[in-house]
């Protein structure tokens, strides 16, 4: 068996707050292989975002072990393994769209000509060709979020972590971006971790669905999707799709009853 | 309501200003107010026209040498200290209370001491100005460096950016609107500081020096002439800072308009 890219063994995380300790993650065990598209789904407070942040080395677990390609998340972060897409676009308003996409490239010391080439390429990939000279506040929310995805793709990180990237967008834009994201994933073979609230979104996108529940945040079910890699939008009306969606819903409900 | 055209934006304030001047002139003449109490605008204008070389010399001494030198020194010192305090957390706890204490010092009391330390010429005035502008600049720059969107900061972390890179690409630009707020306060403080500091000893030139000596001779038209010059200078400096701000922080919601 090949070694997993991300390997979590009994990961535990307790935050010390003014109201006493909060058990954000308890006994999380999960293996993610190269090229997996893994969704984390669950109600607010189930630790899905926290776990994603742990993988990215933005939070440090208080127990258990978590490795990324055999490195600690901190080391993996410093070796620039992650492209991270946040809930909001988080573009720097003083930079143009192209300038924002260049930001990680500047920090990682890419040569000038290479930068311009990459900016063109990812702008094309997220369908924003010709918008490079605009400022973020001149674009719609959906376009801003696409730009932030382009920024995460620009330096070709091996792992793409996305924290409810489409949460604030309307259904139609969301469908379109989901479809584009799948195409992108198929084209690049990246490993993707994706946090979402939406059952259809999770089922549509993932090869592996991780169902989580709160207090303490833990994994209640891991579902390997039998859906093919090629997924047109209308796959959502097939019995297989609906069956997986049911299982996810049951998992979410079971977590609530505890 | 229809927004004013550029022409109207100029005509309205200029019209009102002229109206005030005319009323002032009329009241002084009709009621026969003594020139020692309030000279008419025409007398002030005549005094200005008649002593342009003196006004120019005073302006260079007070504004260019005293105020502007003090302004850049105080701002630079605040910037350097802010970057150091920001880097080392224990300094924030140790130095900020001390800085707060210095902010409470009345600069009027410091002016004679600065004269003792740096002599009668502009150096002591620049020192007073530097101390005056230092604290508001420090507070604003520190506030700006702290006012970074946590998401923007996390983004830098996912890139494995260094402290200097984060400062250069994120926190510096994000702090600019705060820096300009501080500068707008500091320019008016600098002018006040440079003029008032001259009341406590100066060579025989400078706007503060002129105001005290001409007042002693009851030549109020000349006092008013200096006041007009300082008002115009203050407005111009403020406008200059606001203009640079508009160009540099064009991306900020308050400037996008």
pLDDT cut 70: percent of chain B above it: 99
**A22: CB partners within 8 A, 6+ apart:** A14, A15
By the 8 A CB rule, do A28 and A8 touch?
yes
Can you give the C-alpha Rg of chain B in angstroms? 23
Please state, in angstroms and rounded to a whole number, the distance separating the CA atoms of residues B67 and A139.
43
Which of A219, A209, A223 is closest to A11 using CA atoms?
A: A219
Q: Which of A86, A94, A107 sits opposite B159 (nearest CB)?
A: A107
**pLDDT for A131-168, tens place per residue?**
999 999 999 888 898 899 899 888 888 899 999 888 87
Helical ranges in A189-238 per DSSP H: 199-205
With b for 16 or more beta-carbon neighbours within 10 A and e for fewer, the A22-61 pattern comes to bbbbbebebbbbeebbbbbbbeebbbbbbbbbbbbbbbeb
Residue B251: list chain A partners with CB under 8 A.
Answer: 93-94, 135, 137
CB contact under 8 A, A135 and B158: no
Please identify among residues 58-87 of chain A the ones whose CB lies closer than 8 Å to any CB of chain B.
58, 77-80, 82-84, 86-87
Please identify among residues 206-225 of chain B the ones whose CB lies closer than 8 Å to any CB of chain A.
none
Q: Is the Cβ of B151 closer than 8 Å to some Cβ of chain A?
A: yes
Residue A83: list chain B partners with CB under 8 A.
Answer: 158
Residue A107: list chain B partners with CB under 8 A.
Answer: 156, 159-161, 165, 169
Please identify among residues 59-118 of chain B the ones whose CB lies closer than 8 Å to any CB of chain A.
none
Query: What interface predicted TM-score (ipTM) does this complex get?
Result: 0.85
CATH number of the A6-81+158-257 domain: 3.40.50.300
3-state secondary structure of B238: helix
Question: Hey, what domains does chain B have and what are their CATH numbers?
Answer: 47-256 (1.10.3720.10)
**pLDDT for B98-116, tens place per residue?**
878 877 777 778 888 999 9
The string of DSSP codes covering B186-230 is: HHHHHHHHHHHHGGG---S-SHHHHHHHHHHTT-HHHHHHHHHHH
Query: Which one of B158, B174, B175 makes the best mutation probe of the A interface by having the most chain A beta carbons within 10 Å?
Result: B158
* Cross-sheet strand order for the sheet of A20-32: A20-32, A6-17, A63-68
User: Both tokens of residue B119?
Assistant: 């002599």
User: What does chain B come to in residues?
Assistant: 257
Residue B173: list chain A partners with CB under 8 A.
Answer: 92, 94
List the domain boundaries for chain A.
6-81+158-257, 91-157
Q: Which of A80, A86, A92 sits opposite B159 (nearest CB)?
A: A80
Query: A127: left (phi > 0), else alpha (psi -120 to 50), else beta?
Result: left
pTM of the model: 0.84
Sequential pLDDT tens for chain B (257 residues) = 677 788 888 898 899 999 999 999 999 999 999 888 899 999 999 999 999 999 999 999 999 999 999 999 999 999 999 999 888 888 888 877 887 887 777 777 888 899 999 988 999 999 999 999 998 899 899 999 988 999 999 999 999 888 899 999 999 999 999 999 999 999 999 999 999 999 988 888 999 999 999 999 989 999 999 999 999 999 999 999 999 999 999 989 888 76
């Amino acid at each position: 068996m090949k070694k997993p890219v991300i390997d979590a063994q009994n990961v535990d995380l307790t935050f010390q707050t003014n109201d006493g300790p909060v058990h954000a993650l308890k006994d999380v065990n999960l293996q993610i292989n190269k090229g997996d598209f893994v969704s984390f789904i669950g109600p607010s407070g189930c630790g899905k975002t926290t776990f994603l942040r742990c993988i990215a080395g933005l939070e440090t677990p208080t127990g258990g072990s978590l490795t990324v390609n055999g490195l600690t998340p901190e080391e993996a972060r410093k070796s620039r393994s992650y492209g991270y897409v946040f809930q909001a676009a988080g573009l720097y308003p003083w930079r143009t769209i192209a300038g924002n996409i260049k930001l990680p490239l500047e920090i990682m010391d890419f040569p000038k000509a290479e930068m311009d080439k990459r900016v063109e390429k990812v702008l094309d990939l997220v369908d924003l060709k010709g918008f490079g000279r605009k400022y973020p506040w001149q674009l719609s929310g959906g376009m801003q979020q696409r730009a932030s995805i382009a920024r995460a793709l620009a330096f070709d990180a091996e792992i793409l972590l996305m924290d409810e990237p489409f949460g604030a967008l309307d259904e139609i834009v969301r469908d379109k971006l989901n479809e584009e994201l799948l195409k992108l994933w198929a084209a690049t073979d990246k490993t993707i971790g994706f946090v979402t609230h939406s059952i259809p979104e999770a089922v549509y996108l993932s090869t592996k669905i991780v169902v989580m529940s709160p207090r303490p945040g833990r994994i209640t079910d891991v579902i390997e999707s039998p859906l093919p890699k090629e997924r047109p939008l209308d796959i959502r009306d097939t019995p297989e799709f609906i069956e997986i969606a049911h299982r996810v819903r049951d998992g979410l409900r079971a977590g609530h009853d505890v | 309501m229809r927004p004013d055209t550029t022409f109207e934006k100029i005509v309205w304030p200029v019209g009102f200003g002229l109206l005030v001047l005319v009323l002032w002139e009329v009241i002084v003449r009709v009621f026969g107010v003594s020139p020692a109490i309030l000279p008419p605008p025409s007398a002030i204008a005549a005094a200005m026209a008649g002593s342009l070389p003196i006004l120019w010399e005073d302006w260079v001494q007070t504004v260019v040498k005293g105020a502007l030198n003090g302004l850049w020194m105080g701002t630079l010192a605040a910037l350097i200290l802010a970057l150091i305090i920001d880097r080392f957390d224990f300094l924030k706890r140790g130095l900020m209370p001390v800085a707060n204490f210095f902010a409470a010092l009345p600069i009027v009391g410091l002016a004679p001491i600065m004269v003792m330390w740096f002599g009668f010429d502009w150096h002591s005035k620049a020192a007073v100005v530097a101390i005056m502008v230092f604290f508001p600049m420090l507070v604003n720059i520190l506030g700006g460096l702290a006012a970074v969107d946590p998401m923007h900061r996390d983004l830098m972390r996912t890139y494995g950016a260094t402290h200097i890179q984060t400062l250069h690409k994120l926190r510096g630009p994000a702090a600019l609107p705060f820096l300009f707020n501080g500068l707008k306060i500091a320019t008016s403080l600098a002018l006040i500081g440079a003029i008032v500091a001259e009341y406590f000893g100066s060579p025989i030139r400078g706007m503060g020096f002129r105001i005290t000596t001409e007042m002693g001779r009851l030549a109020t038209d000349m006092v008013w002439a200096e006041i007009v010059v300082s008002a115009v200078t203050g407005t111009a400096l403020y406008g200059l800072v606001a203009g640079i701000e508009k160009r540099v922080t064009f991306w900020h919601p308050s400037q996008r308009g």
